[in-house]
Amino acid sequence: MELESLVSVAKSKNAPRTSDADTLPYGGGVDRGTNTPPAALSRLPVLRSLIEAKGCGLLGHSARVSGIACAVGAKIGLPRTELELLATAAEVHDIGKLGVPDRILLKSGRLTDAEYAVIQQHPEVGRDLLRMAGSRGNLLDVVLCHHERWDGEGYPFRRRTTESPLAARILSLADTVDAMASDRPYRASQPMERIFGELERCSGTQFDPNLVDVFLTLARGSRSHDWVDRIAAQGAGQLAA
């Protein structure tokens, strides 16, 4: 199926919904962290490249988010299967943005309410795209929940506290850190101390407060100008070990 058609189907009301079958491991040959068959996992780098090719400051974003998330995950003692789930989810978390028109995705000015509503569809579109590409279970749920918030004010389902998977809460934090540390069409990158202050301000509202504490402990030990890259490399190293 052509990519445009795939996105169109994923955005339509005819897209298959999440079912109990999606949460069950496959009987034979499945990645234990993501519940996804290896053949389907092998397609994910292609999907990641497609979203990075759309621009909007995303180049390298997925890899850095993966590294940051794994660094946090390793710090709290997650097993390797969970780190692999984190890394895979981070690589493709914004794949649903393939369904967002460039005039909205690349807009430098303030989004209208209608435009923001389109952006807010991307976790569900991403979940549906990944399912059509053969992914199952945990990976779909983490991608679906990466914009939920600790206080229940996120989207798409306003899940609160631990109603979202731990991996999705880690991904949310890592995604925001890298977004604030990167240049975007609508603003320049933020300095480290401002990012730390924002995380403290949003601890217990946007973010899981325990994860904020873990991240700040990690980050405050690395005060060089490339602190984000250093943390990301540290997380990537956990997977390579």
List residues near Fe ion by CB under 5 A. Answer: 94
The letter for the amino acid at 182 is: S
What's the rounded Cα separation, in Å, for the pair 172 and 155?
12
CB of 172 to Fe ion, least distance (A): 9
Nearer to Fe ion among residue 30 and residue 70 (C-beta): 70
Nearer to Fe ion among residue 30 and residue 65 (C-beta): 65
What's the rounded Cα separation, in Å, for the pair 211 and 188?
26
CB of 96 to Fe ion, least distance (A): 7
Question: What's CA 9's distance to the chain center, in Å?
Answer: 22
Nearer to Fe ion among residue 94 and residue 124 (C-beta): 94
Two tokens, residue 168:
């999705």
CB of 94 to Fe ion, least distance (A): 4
CB of 126 to Fe ion, least distance (A): 8
Residue with smallest beta-carbon separation from Fe ion:
94
User: Residue 82, CB half-sphere, CA atoms under 13 Å: how many?
Assistant: 17
Nearer to Fe ion among residue 126 and residue 234 (C-beta): 126
The three-state secondary structure class of 115 is helix
Question: What's CA 145's distance to the chain center, in Å?
Answer: 8
CB of 187 to Fe ion, least distance (A): 17
Nearer to Fe ion among residue 21 and residue 53 (C-beta): 53
Of residues 159, 201, 199, 165, the one with CA closest to residue 179: 199
